[in-house]
Amino acid sequence: MSSSGPRCPVREQRARWERKRGRAALELLETERRYQEQLGLVVQYFLRILRAKGTLRPAELQAVFGPWESLHAVSQELLLHLEAAEWGAGLERFCCHLELYTRFAANEARSRAILQKWLRKRHFRKFVQLQEGRPEFGSLQLADLLPLPLQRLQQYENLVVALAENTRPDSPDYQQFSKVAQKLSEVTQRVSAIGREHENVRQLHRIQSLLSGRLAKGLTKGRWFLRQGWLLVVPPKGEPKSRMFFLFSDALLMAKPRSVLHILYGGTFVCQALYPMAQCQLQRIFGHSGGPGGGLLSLSFPHEKLLLMSTDQEALSRWYHSLTVAVRYASHLLWF
| DSSP letters for 265-284 | TTT-EEEEEEEEGGG-EEEE
CA–CA separation, 323 and 250 (whole Å): 10
**Could you check whether 9-208 and 213-335 share the same CATH topology?**
no
pLDDT at 321 over 80: yes
CA–CA separation, 104 and 153 (whole Å): 11
Cα four-point dihedral sign 190, 194, 199, 201: positive
Let me know: does 69 contact 41? Beta carbons within 8 Å: no
CA–CA separation, 85 and 91 (whole Å): 11
pLDDT at 10: 64
pLDDT at 335: 47
Return the higher-pLDDT residue of 146 and 266: 146
**CATH code of the domain occupying 213-335:** 2.30.29.30
Q: Which fold has domain 9-208?
A: Dbl Homology Domain; Chain A (1.20.900)
What residue ranges do the domains of the chain occupy?
9-208, 213-335
Going by pLDDT thresholds of 50, 70 and 90, the confidence category of residue 131 is very high
pLDDT at 51: 94
Which range (63-67, 211-215, 279-283) has the least confidence? 211-215
Mean pLDDT in the chain? Answer: 89
* Pairing status of strand 211-212 against strand 269-276: parallel
Going by pLDDT thresholds of 50, 70 and 90, the confidence category of residue 217 is confident
